[in-house]
Chain A
Amino acid sequence: MLLDFDKLGAWKWALAGICALMTLFLLLPILFIVALSFGSSRWLIFPPPGWTLKWYEELFADPRWLGAALTSAKIGLIVTVLSVALGLLASMALVRGTFKGRAVLRAFFLTPMILPVIIVAVALYAAFLRMGLNGTLVGFVIAHLVVALPFSIVTISGALETFDPAIEDAAILCGASPWEARLRVTLPGISHGLFSAAIFSFLISWDEVVLAIFMASPSLQTLPVKVWTTLRQDLTPVIAAASTLLVALTVLLMIAAALIRKGKTR
């Protein structure tokens, strides 16, 4: 009765109503930013008196915004490659490993996911101060990698668990060396997991704020850091434009991830 939508009677409409309100609540701020980024009012009036592209022009004309976006993209790509590579190796050890203590190792790999990012950020900030890595590309990459890697390991080991090891066995029986079997049979078999891990890793790095605030220097900052520092002075519509670009890339990558998942289940 309570779990049958058609037999709920009046409750059905109450539930649907709450659901609709919540959907609007989640969606409106995002649409609102997109609308503001095209609005002509400096004072963020909604609905805007007219429409314009000037905030995007301002965004692209400013080398600091552009530089921050390029830095974000560069860090994101390096983090993606490293996160998938290390995640793949770690997943092989976790899923196919024959040593004891794999459950402990898995828990260890996932701890950066559960600790508040602020603790990791402050701890790395302290360590990097001594090592001279604050404000460097290497510092950013390491910091983002620490938080992206657990997601990569979860995704890839999930794919590896559902890949039947007997197929790898078959390849070895047919004369392939274990390495050949891994590279030419297992790897293509879990490619959907690798692509998902790549997308997640990039998104985590692309959107990372807290670590980036601590890693950044005046000369090297990512797009979210630039948004953060601008936000603290002024709520200018240029931030709406920058945010819209951040959202747009996220939506594109999410669609890609959904397509990969769909392709896998087919």
Chain B
Amino acid sequence: MRIFPIGRLRGTGIGFGLPAILLLLAFFVVPVALLLARSVTEPQLGWQNYAALLGSSTYAKVFFNTFFVAGVVTAITVLIAFPVAWALVIMPKGWSAVVFAVILLSMWTNLLARTYAWMVLLQQTGLINRMLMSTGLIDRPLQLTNNLVGVTIGMVYIMLPFMILPLMGVLKKIDPAILQAAALCGATKWQALRRVLLPLATPGIASGALMVFVMSLGYFVTPSLLGGASNMMLAELIAQQVQSLVNWGMGGAAAFVLLVVTLALYAVQLRFFDRGEAR
């Protein structure tokens, strides 16, 4: 409800947005565009960087590592996050508040600090190996860092909150009466879970999974600290090409591949899963 002349007085123009627009144009859009342009102009004009990127077995391994880790991390995260989000939605308020506070705390704890903790916990003489050895499960320390196992553990740890929060949002919106109806119609708990709760939660699971997958693809810090030199992932490849090898063409090409995959997956998410939120 607006009082006619004032609406016009109060309305602001695009001018207010100009400082932010200019900042992002100058220090986000143009630099990213220039980086991508370098992928087809350096060392000379042409597609040779992409041909090298897609044709060599070294880079194929980087792509495999990236997508494999992102996939495994996403799967594990969904398996853990679903029951946790479910519990959080129906638990007594006091308990869920405590768990929720821990989730937020972990989300906002410095990424390096968390990765450092896992480097120490997972090393050969670390707590995890010593605990496993003292229980007699293993008699020699497991190699848990400098490989994809370490990366996966560290990444699951970091991604869990990003999966739990969207899942909670979906589960909260489900009307408990629907499940009561299922019970009245004679469904067992398993049947109700498989045929009612899971299908209703699927859009949330899918969009959470997509988000975690995309974030994992572009992660830099955790893979490079826990993965070691021989298990490189895409983000580290970009950094290495640019910083150590000063190969801007190849760095730009790898960045372009990451950018296209990221935007494509976000487009999928917007198209299929986010209709309710977008409104």
In whole angstroms, how far apart are the Cα atoms of A108 and B23 in the complex?
A: 12
Q: How far is the CB of B61 from chain A (nearest CB, A)?
A: 19
Question: Do the beta carbons of A2 and B179 come within 8 Å of each other?
Answer: yes
Q: How far is the CB of B85 from chain A (nearest CB, A)?
A: 9
In whole angstroms, how far apart are the Cα atoms of A11 and B86 in the complex?
A: 11
Question: Do the beta carbons of B106 and A19 come within 8 Å of each other?
Answer: no
Residue of B12, B27, B118 near A92 (CB, 8 A) is B12
Question: Do the beta carbons of B20 and A224 come within 8 Å of each other?
Answer: no
In whole angstroms, how far apart are the Cα atoms of A173 and B7 in the complex?
A: 11
Question: Do the beta carbons of B80 and A22 come within 8 Å of each other?
Answer: yes
In whole angstroms, how far apart are the Cα atoms of A89 and B239 in the complex?
A: 34
- If A16-B87, A109-B20, A122-B255 touch, does A26 touch B111 (CB 8 Å cutoff)? no
Question: Do the beta carbons of B220 and A117 come within 8 Å of each other?
Answer: yes
Q: Interface range on chain A: under 10, 10 to 19, 20 to 34, or 35 or more?
A: 35 or more
B contact residues around A168 at 8 Å (CB): 10
A75 at the binding interface (Cβ < 8 Å):
no
B31 at the binding interface (Cβ < 8 Å):
yes
Which of the 9-residue segments A50-58, A60-68, A189-197, A202-210 touches chain B? A202-210
Question: Do the beta carbons of B258 and A89 come within 8 Å of each other?
Answer: no
In whole angstroms, how far apart are the Cα atoms of A118 and B66 in the complex?
A: 14
With both beta carbons as reference points, the residue of chain A lying nearest to B22 in the complex is identified as: A86
B157 at the binding interface (Cβ < 8 Å):
yes
Interface of chain A: mostly helix, strand, loop or mixed: helix
A132 at the binding interface (Cβ < 8 Å):
no
Residue of A46, A93, A117, A254 near B127 (CB, 8 A) is A46
Question: Do the beta carbons of B13 and A97 come within 8 Å of each other?
Answer: yes
- A-B CB proximity, top 10 nearest: A116-B218, A243-B113, A93-B17, A29-B117, A98-B11, A123-B31, A93-B16, A90-B20, A3-B176, A127-B31
B interface residues with partner A (beta carbon < 8 Å): 1-3, 6-21, 23-24, 27-28, 30-32, 34-35, 38, 80, 83-84, 86-92, 98-99, 102-106, 108-114, 116-121, 123, 125-127, 157, 160-161, 171, 174, 176, 179-180, 182-183, 189, 192-193, 196-197, 214-215, 217-221, 225, 235, 238-239, 242-243, 248, 251, 255, 258-259, 262, 266
A-B contact pairs, 29 of them (CB 8 A): A2-B189, A4-B176, A5-B90, A5-B91, A11-B189, A19-B83, A22-B99, A26-B157, A26-B160, A30-B106, A32-B121, A96-B10, A97-B14, A97-B16, A111-B28, A118-B218, A118-B258, A119-B259, A122-B239, A122-B242, A123-B32, A124-B31, A125-B243, A127-B27, A149-B23, A165-B2, A214-B239, A224-B110, A244-B113
